[in-house]
Structure 1
Amino acid sequence: MDRIVQSYMDSFLKSQDIVEKNQSKKFEMFASYCAIEQMYSENFNPIDVVIGDGDDCGIDAIAILVNGLLITSKEEIDDLLEINKKLSEINFIFVQAKTSSNFDYGDMGTFGTGVKDFFSDSPQMRRNEAIIEKSKIVEYIFSKATYIKKKPVCYLYYITTGKWVNDQNCVGRMELVKSDLLDLNIFSNVVYIPVGADLLQKYYRNTIDVIETEIEFSNKILLPEIPGVTQSYLGYIDSESYLKLITGENGEIRKSVFYDNVRDFQGDNPVNHEMSESLRTDSQKFVLLNNGVTVICKELSNIGNKFTLTDYQIVNGCQTSHVIFNNKNDIINGLQLPIKLIETEDDETVNRIIKATNRQTEVSDEQLIALNEFHRKLEAFYGTFTGANRLYYERRSKQYNYGTDIEKVRIVSISTQIKAVASMFYDKPHLASRYYGRLLKSIDGIFNDGHQPLPYYTCAFTLYRLEFLFRNKSIPAQYRKFKYFILMLIKYDLADDKIPEMNANKMNKFCEKILAMASDNSKLTDEVNKLTQLIDKHVTDITSAESTKTATLVENLKTEFVIK
């Protein structure tokens, strides 16, 4: 392993607070994270995707992406269908990582065989628990075939520390794998990507560096001075330049630039279908028929007509962008697209632009939740903690993602915050595996302006500390699926009196008691070991995740305490 890859891997392990002695395991986690992050840039826990641990079909990691979300349970599919009525975009990502310095065409073929067996109706290879769980999710997705608007895409990343030189045998084996998988007739495309040391280094830099893209923007006017805005332009741009803004390293659409656009791509609905037809048949009029896109960037510089956008988000135009990307090979006669380009770091201005541009289409309350004032206060409250107690509330997606000085495991997304507070203080750990928007609707009064901020921090910090114990094998990994139940049980076990209301001053004193215990490794380990005995008492099959999804388990566990 070259020194740069080793250095990057060490930096990654530190950012994830991972203590692992086995070099191969460390590389599997690092390489898998880097590959998956190219297509899913939200913070995620490597433990949720890395499955290589014997009987793994020659696969080190699996990520299932549906409608832009990383799926870890069947229930999330149900929630997406309830909200979107369709499964508009499905990607399966498989990773095999080798510390060897060469590409072995035999291993590359074995990897492909394992992926094919994973999708088989009659699998021949032995499967570990993680593989079985992923397979059940995939089977459930295909059982919803009437809601799938486009066949999934399958990505295979074969990663080594060597140099990729387009060896004929390796290329041939990759083509055979792609052909075998396409013959299953369940994919619209199969992409096999060989990743050597140079590309792996680039992948990792992509996870920590801000996005920066240069485009040609000649047809523009500079808008007058606007409070809160450094500079802004109105004009139109050709499709070739625009595709640079939205296309990633491997030619895929760059999902990370749409996180501040509150609506994900809605697939081939009537509006998008009509847009596609217009784009293919009458592209010269597209500039007149389309409302255009709005791009906000932290830094905007130009030399003549060449503009460099740094750390940018497309806050309105997700549907247009996907339609252009999906039809890029059919665009003729130089399509032009209306565009607003804005440089600002003023949060209030950004929020107003997002609300204004997205209120033109129907959006749900949970899609605009990040703009609520409570989250701004919560972000500031998190910032009052220092040292080992420091966490970072990610009010706006990826705001802490760039740079290596922040441990990624200390970043708390809105989704994680909702799941933690719902589990600890609202007794809903059985719903934590669901899409956060569904969970949000089940809780009255969450994120109320009158609430104390400390309970929100407390449940997130306790979850962070639980994950630390699981990650470093201080408590058995089989109980990780019950982590949200453990949050609830900690609350009841430590309560001396009636559980205070979220807006009560007494809640702060109670939270301080929980934090004192959670901050101490020994005390937290003893507490978890005590509580897992209760889980053993009420769960028949501790290896199955099904019991974690029932309200019955919640009520059974609560009977162990005098409910206060």
Structure 2
Amino acid sequence: MAKNDLILIDSIIEERVSENLPSNRKDEVFEFLSYEQVLKEYDLSADDIKSGSVDGRNDGGIDAIYILVNGHLISDVKNALLPKSNANLEVFFFTCKHRDVFKQDPVNSICTSLQELLDFSKENKNLDGQYNEDIFEKRNIFIATYKKIAIILERLSIKVIFASRGDVRHELGDNVEARAKQIETICKEYFSGCDAKFEFWGAEEILAAYRKKADYSLILNVKECLSHGKQMVVLASLSDYFKFITYEDKKMRKYLFDSNVRDFMGINAVNGDILDTLENRKNNEDFWWLNNGITILCSSAVAIGKSITIENVQIVNGLQTSECIYRYFVGDEHEQEDRVVLIKILPCDTIAIADDITRSTNNQTEVMSSSLRATDKIQEDIEDILKKEDMYYERRVNYYVNQGISTEKIYTPLYLARGYMAVVLKRPYNAVTLKQKFMRKQSSYEEIFSEDEDLRVWSIVAKIMRKTDDYMNLLRDDICGERFLRNVRYQVAFLTISRLFKTFTYSSNDIISFDIDRYTFDEVKKTWLDLQKVTNIDSRCATWRSKSVSLEITKSIADIEKIKNFVAIDTIQNKKKKGGKNGFTDEFLEEVKKNLPAQPWPKGVHLTVSRKMGISPQKATKAIGELMKRNIVKRQKNGQIIE
């Protein structure tokens, strides 16, 4: 390792500490940097990278676990879009130490843990070691994914990564390397045909990966070119296109496909035909005769002879074809190919035009609706409203990251959705467990990303959550890891804003008109101290995901701080209390009545009550019906009062 490599790595860490990426602690920043660089070719978002962390108490020496199928992260097996055949399953286990040496203790720990965790015959409750709930969650995902794709599994790869700031080439001890080989053997004993590898990543390896930047300005060599204005239709040889979409080491440039709404579907009927066309040429047929081709969006394209320089490349249609071409060349090391592929190159002046092209070119076959969320009007509107305040809403994965925008200015849809759930809908316990899959169900998606919501609320929510993160990073002590912070931040934000409003019945309009300068370090610190009075603060995260515990904590702090109207968020209705068969208390119904406008109510009034009180639209509808049934309000149907 060159002497200056360690200095450069430390300077990168210092810079990221100042940006809180992901926190202000060097060890956590180093962990995130290691995950990011090792998994760089998969082009994961910051949220995806953070989701793999299992670090904390009872982690068995494992800091992060990632499960990927055909290069795509699996966080929810039930809703994952898995291939129909030819599945490649990759599992990464990380242990990271912010030291300048590679010691044996971390290798021993992960060895002991993997001997248990990879034994699928044992249930979680029967394991000898002590593991936290995140370890169990990742293990369950691994087991479920493995079982689900076992019949079509083409390759299983397990990589164990030990990252430190040390020197891999000169400082690894024989005992450490021997233990690493033992871990590889253990993996292979549990899975026949498994490709198991233990890798050491030091300062030199991490720095080399860090310097490998995504290049969006590429040159495509072509055979023929037809232009119309700025747009071009070209024929490029298969081998030239293969070089265009791969690095020099022949790994695929996955970042070029960020805007493509489909994942690779495996070797299904269509892709099987594409590969068959590639591998078995018939009657001198050219490839482009039988294929729909590729669509590339860009900011500009300039043709010079038989080469086209393309700026800001995004391949929005043709992922299946590209993956098949990639497999064709990588699989058998084919020589120069004279067959060609059809490519449309479309420079776009505006994001709106690019979205229209993406949506249109991806409507020919079935696509999960969630895959097209990035082009929804509400997502575009949120991006526009945040940009006015120099905030960047990354509705497309890594869109602004790859432009070099500071991470402290970037907000992802999941980050804001969780903040909205905690602060506006007043359900911090749901915010903790909210995952990307909520966007796949229309009702859960619209509950958060509602066209009826005032767009101005999003910038306030973003500022509240970012301030909460920054302040809690300063307040948490050594027992509270970054994983713990991910769980507690939503309760802290919700309780702090409720105390500042002095009531739990604040509305979206109240948040919009809120002076964000009032949300200070001292206010968050006060909430943190209150939390420590009413509950045990430690690194166990499971309790913070519990609805009952969250409500119990909220009730206790409401009593301490004299915050009004706790009943408005107490959605656990006790049927033993005085109330109707729906279990609604008189106090709860009175709160619903207060949040209703004057009659006749407009259509969708239940959604207004839902947002104001932080209850589900269904509960709001039933409560309004109960009010009419008890004659507390006038009966109404279709916007008309019934006398």
TM, length-normalised to structure 1: 0.78
- Equivalent in 411, 428, 433 of residue 435 of structure 2: 433
Task: Spell out, residue by residue over 1:221-243, the C-alpha distance to the aligned partner (whole angstroms, 9 max, x if none).
Answer: 14111xxxxx4332233333333
1:55-106 per-position Cα deviation (integer Å, ceiling 9, x unaligned) = 654444323335765455xxx322326x989995643223344566677899
* Structure 2 residue corresponding to 1:63, chosen from 49, 55, 66: 66
Query: 1:345-356 residue pairs with structure 2 within 5 A?
Result: 345-356=349-360
Cα distance per residue 1:9-67 (max 9 Å; x no partner): 22233333566566x55533432332233324312376544445576544443233357
1:162-177 to structure 2, matched below 5 A, reads 177=183
Amino acid at match of 2:8: I
Task: Deviation per CA, 1:390-441: give whole Å up to 9, x if none.
Answer: 63212333222036561x2431112323333244334565361352423653
> One-letter code of the match for 1:315?
V
1:280–1:109 distance in 2 versus 1, CA, 3 Å? farther
| Equivalent position of 2:522 in the other structure | 522
d(CA) in 2 for partners of 1:86, 1:419: 35
340, 352, 363: which one pairs with 1:359? 363
Q: Distance in 2 between matches of 1:312 and 1:326?
A: 21
Q: Which amino acid aligns with 2:306?
A: N
Contact 2:257 2:316 in 1 (8 A): yes
1:142-153 matched pairs, under 5 angstroms: 142=146, 144=148, 149-153=153-157
CA contact under 8 A between 2:55 and 2:64: conserved in structure 1?
yes
The equivalent residue for 1:134 is 138
Secondary structure at the counterpart of residue 224 of structure 2: strand
Work out the CA distance in 1 between the residues paired with 2:59 and 2:248: 28
The answer to whether the 8 Å contact 2:20/2:470 transfers is no
Q: Which residue type is aligned with residue 210 of structure 2? A: Y
Structure 2 alignment gaps of length 5 or more: 559-565, 569-590, 592-643
Number of the residue aligned with 2:268: 269
2:461 partner letter: C
Q: Specify the SS of the correspondent of 1:315.
A: strand
Query: What SS is found at the alignment partner of 1:267?
Result: coil
Is the CA contact 2:37–2:210 (under 8 Å) kept in the aligned structure 1?
Answer: yes
Distance 1:63 1:56 in 2: 15
1:474: which partner in 2? 476
Q: Is the 8 A contact 2:220 2:307 kept in 1?
A: yes
For the Cα contact (< 8 Å) 2:386–2:458, is it kept in 1? no
Shift in Å, 1:339: 1.7
1:380 equivalent in structure 2: 384
Matched residues in 1 for 2:367 and 2:468: separation?
A: 35
What does residue 228 of structure 1 align with?
none
Correspondence for 1:543 among 532, 540, 546:
540
Tell me if the contact between 1:101 and 1:162 (Cα under 8 Å) persists in the aligned partners.
yes
Q: Give a deviation string over 1:128-162, Cα, whole Å, max 9, x none.
A: 56544433443443454568755543233344545
1:201 corresponds to which of 204, 207, 217: 207
Q: Which moved more, 1:270-279 or 1:423-432?
A: 423-432
Partner of 1:410: 409
What residue is the counterpart of 2:466 in the other structure?
Answer: 464
CA contact (8 A) 2:93 2:161 kept: yes
Given that 1:234 and 1:339 are in contact with CA atoms closer than 8 Å, whether structure 2 keeps it comes out as yes
Q: Which moved more, 1:143-152 or 1:240-249?
A: 143-152
Give the aligned residue type for 1:94. F
Matched, 1:336 2:340: yes
Secondary structure (helix, strand or coil) at the match of 2:342 reads strand
Q: Which amino acid aligns with 1:311?
A: N
Q: Displacement, 1:219?
A: 1.3
CA contact under 8 A between 1:378 and 1:453: conserved in structure 2? yes
User: What displacement does 1:292 show?
Assistant: 1.4
Contact 2:96 2:163 in 1 (8 A): yes
Say whether 1:37 aligns with 2:40: yes
Q: Does the 8 Å CA contact 1:100/1:162 hold for their aligned counterparts?
A: yes
CA distance in 2, matches of 1:289, 1:310: 28
Tell me which amino acid in the other structure corresponds to 1:437: M
Answering whether residue 389 of structure 2 is matched by residue 424 of structure 1, we say no
**Secondary structure, counterpart of 1:2 in structure 2:** helix
Could you tell me whether the CA contact under 8 Å between 1:234 and 1:341 is conserved in 2?
yes
Question: Which structure exhibits the higher relative contact order, with contacts defined as CA atoms closer than 8 Å and separated by 6 or more residues?
Answer: 1
Q: Quick one: percent identity of the two aligned structures?
A: 20
Per the TM alignment, residue 211 of structure 1 is displaced from its structure 2 partner at its CA by 1.9
Give unmatched runs, 5+ long, in structure 1. 226-230, 502-506
Query: Which structure is larger by alpha-carbon Rg, 1 or 2?
Result: 2
SS of 1:154's equivalent? strand
SS of the residue corresponding to residue 435 of structure 1 reads: helix
1:72-151 → structure 2 map (5 Å cutoff): 76-80=76-80, 90-97=89-96, 115=114, 117-121=116-120, 127=131, 130-142=134-146, 144=148, 149-151=153-155
Amino acid at match of 1:63: Y
Q: Does the CA contact (< 8 Å) of 1:293 and 1:317 recur in 2?
A: yes
Asked if 1:442 corresponds to 2:441, the answer is no
Give the corresponding residue for 2:455. Answer: 453
RMSD of equivalent CA atoms: 4.4
Contact 1:64/1:93, CA 8 A, preserved across alignment: yes
Q: How many residues align?
A: 537
Question: Conserved in 2, the CA contact under 8 Å of 1:279 and 1:331?
Answer: no
For 1:145 and 1:465, the matched residues in 2 are separated by 42
Matched residue type, 2:526: D
Moved more, 369-378 or 525-534: 525-534
Distance 1:34 1:290 in 2: 35
Cα distance 1:427–1:361, how it changes in 2: closer, same or farther (>3 A)?
A: farther
**Partner residue, 1:9:** 13
Q: 1:392 is matched with which residue?
A: 392
Question: C-alpha deviations, 1:438-473, integer Å up to 9, x for none?
Answer: 365324465444431122222233222333344445
TM-score normalised by structure 2 residue count: 0.69
User: Contact between 2:221 and 2:307, CA under 8 Å: does it hold in 1?
Assistant: yes
Inter-CA distance 322–558: structure 2 relative to 1 (3 Å threshold): farther
Letter in 2 for 1:462: I
Q: 1:182 to 1:427 in 2, by over 3 A?
A: same
SS in 2 for 1:360: coil
The equivalent residue for 1:504 is none
**Alignment CA distance shift 1:293-1:50 (3 Å):** same
CA offsets per residue over residues 466-498 of structure 1, 9 Å max, x none?
333444453755463254455555565555679
Distance 2:530 2:312 in 1: 46
